Amino acid sequence: MNHGDARVAPAAAGGFAPEAVSLDRVSVAYGGVAALKEVSLDVRPGEMLALLGPSGCGKTSLLRTIAGFVPHTGDVHIGGRRATGIPSHRRNIGMVFQDYALFPHMTIAQNVGFGLRMRKVPRREIDTRVEEAIALVGLRGVEHRLPRQLSGGQQQRVAVARAIVIHPSVLLLDEPLSALDKKLREEMEVELRLLQKRVGITTIFVTHDQEEALAISDRIAVMHEGRVLQLGCPEEIYDAPAHPFVAGFVGKANRLSGTVTDVTGDEVTCELAAGVRVRLATPRAVTRGDRLQFTVRPEKIVLAATGGELDNSVEGKVRTRIYLGMFTELRVQIPSGDELTVVVQNTRPAVIERQVAPGDAVVLAWSPHACRLLE
C-alpha cells in the first residue's frame, strides 16, 4: 500500500495473530537517567490503549520509542514486523502532538495531505482522501484556511485528520486533549472514542488524566517510574488495583493496614490499631498473624444509622466536609487514628435534609467485598 511496508522486515513466523504493537524489554535512558526500564507491552489490533501516569513516569518516552524518535534497547514490533532500526518516516505511524504541531505556513488541506504527498500518492487520490478525512472529523469548509485561523478544538481535529488520512498501522496520541478547556475536552473525548471505533485504528494515547483514561480506553497501562505497573480494562484498574501506586493514582483510595486475627472461609478479620476490627474478602490465602494492607474506595463506604447490614461498621467523627454539588466529601476519623474519605451522594436536596457537619459522630459501613488487598 505504501513504500513504508516494503522496508519492514517480517517477524519470526508464528501461528498467532500478530499484536498491533509489541514491546519486548524496552529500555530508554537519557544521559544515564533511566526513563523506561525493561517495559514489555502488547497492544491488540483495533484497541484504544491509554498510557496513564504522572509526569516523568515514562509514558511519553514509550510513545516516542514506538514512533522511533528515541534510541532504546529491546525490541519494538509494529503490525507483527520488527520496527527496531527502521527510521520514523518509514514506520507508517499517525501521530497527534500535544501542541498539535500543525504546519503554520500550509493550509488545512495541505496539512492533512502532507503524509500522502510524502508517500507520492497520485494528486487526484490525495484530494479525495483529504476531503474524506476532513469530513470525518467534521471540519468541512475550512480547507483553505491557515491553522492560526482555527480554534484550539478545530486545530485538534485537523491534527487527527492529518494522522488518520495515511491509514496508519497505529495511531499515537500524545496528551491530545490537554490543551483544551474542560467542557470541550469532554466533548472531544466522546468524539475521539467514536471516531477511533469507526475507523478501527489501533490507538495508543498518553494521558495523566485518570478520568480521561477511564472514559475512553479499552485498556489502561498504569505507568510509574519507567515501568508498567498494571495493564487491564478500566474496571480492573479501578476496582482491582494490583499495586499501591495504582490504587492511589487512579481514583481516591483509603489505605488501611492491620493484623489478621481470624480466618473463616474466604473472609478474614483484620484488626487495626485501637482494636478496630474490619472484615474483608480476600482472594488469596492468609493466615492468622499476617500483616495486611488494603484499600477501600470512598464511594463504597456509606453512612449508616446503625451498623450491621454491610458487615463492617465503624464509628467515627467528621473532621472536614466539602460540598461538591452532586456529592459531599467527608473526612472521618475512626478510633484507630486513620482518617477515611467518604463520598456521600446527595440524593436529597440540602434544603430539606440537614447535612452532616464537622464534629458529628457517624457510623461508617461497607461490605467486606469493597476491600482490596494490596500485594
Partner 1 sequence: MKTAGWFAWSVTAVVVVGLVVPLVVVVASSFNPTNELLVPPRGFSLTWYGNIFQRSVFLTSFRFSLLLALGATACSLVMGLLCAVAVVRCRFPGRDLLGAVLMSPLIVPQVVLGMSLLIFLSTIGVVSSLAGLSLLHVILALPYTARVLIAALTRFPVSLEDAAVIHGAHRAKAFTLVTLPAIKPGLVTAALFAFVTSFDNFTSSQFLVWDRTTLPIEIYSYIRTENDPTVAAISTLLILATVAIVVVAERLVGLETVTG
Interface residues with partner 1 (CB under 8 A)?
Answer: 4, 31, 67-69, 87-95, 97-99, 101-105, 114-115, 118-119, 162-163, 166, 172
Under a CB-based contact definition with an 8 Å cutoff, are residues 180 and 99 in contact? Answer: no
Alpha carbons 210 and 50: distance in angstroms, whole number: 9
Residues 6+ apart with CB under 8 A from 189: 177, 212, 215, 216
Of the chain, the end-to-end C-alpha distance in Å amounts to: 48
CB closer to partner 1 out of 31 and 275? 31
CB closer to partner 1 out of 101 and 304? 101
Alpha carbons 67 and 88: distance in angstroms, whole number: 6
CB closer to partner 1 out of 174 and 189? 174
Minimum CB distance to partner 1, residue 150 (Å)? 16
Element (DSSP H or E) covering residue 266: none
Pairing of strands 33-43, 21-30: antiparallel
CB closer to partner 1 out of 1 and 350? 1
Minimum CB distance to partner 1, residue 31 (Å)? 8
Query: 3-state SS of the chain: helix, strand, coil percent to 5?
Result: 30, 35, 40
CB closer to partner 1 out of 103 and 323? 103
Minimum CB distance to partner 1, residue 2 (Å)? 8
Identify the residue whose cell numbers are 467485598.
Answer: 369
- How many helices (H) does the chain have, and how many strands (E)? 9, 21
CB closer to partner 1 out of 70 and 268? 70
Q: Could you write out the DSSP letters of every residue in 316-366?
A: EEEEEEEE-SSEEEEEEE-TTS-EEEEEEE--S-TTTSPPP-TT-EEEEEE
CB closer to partner 1 out of 8 and 256? 8
Q: What distance lies between CA 184 and its chain's CA centroid?
A: 19
Minimum CB distance to partner 1, residue 208 (Å)? 18
Element (DSSP H or E) covering residue 91: none
Amino acid at 128: T
Please name which of 148, 136, 69 lies closest in space to residue 105, comparing C-alpha atoms.
Answer: 148
Alpha carbons 252 and 243: distance in angstroms, whole number: 14
Minimum CB distance to partner 1, residue 95 (Å)? 5
User: Is residue 227 classed as helix, strand or coil in its secondary structure?
Assistant: strand
Minimum CB distance to partner 1, residue 196 (Å)? 18
List the beta bridge partners of residue 294. Answer: 256, 373
Q: 10 Å Cβ neighbour count for 108?
A: 26
Amino acid at 11: A
CB closer to partner 1 out of 102 and 206? 102
Minimum CB distance to partner 1, residue 122 (Å)? 15
CB closer to partner 1 out of 4 and 226? 4
CB closer to partner 1 out of 167 and 277? 167
Q: 10 Å Cβ neighbour count for 118?
A: 13
Minimum CB distance to partner 1, residue 257 (Å)? 45
Minimum CB distance to partner 1, residue 3 (Å)? 9
Minimum CB distance to partner 1, residue 103 (Å)? 5
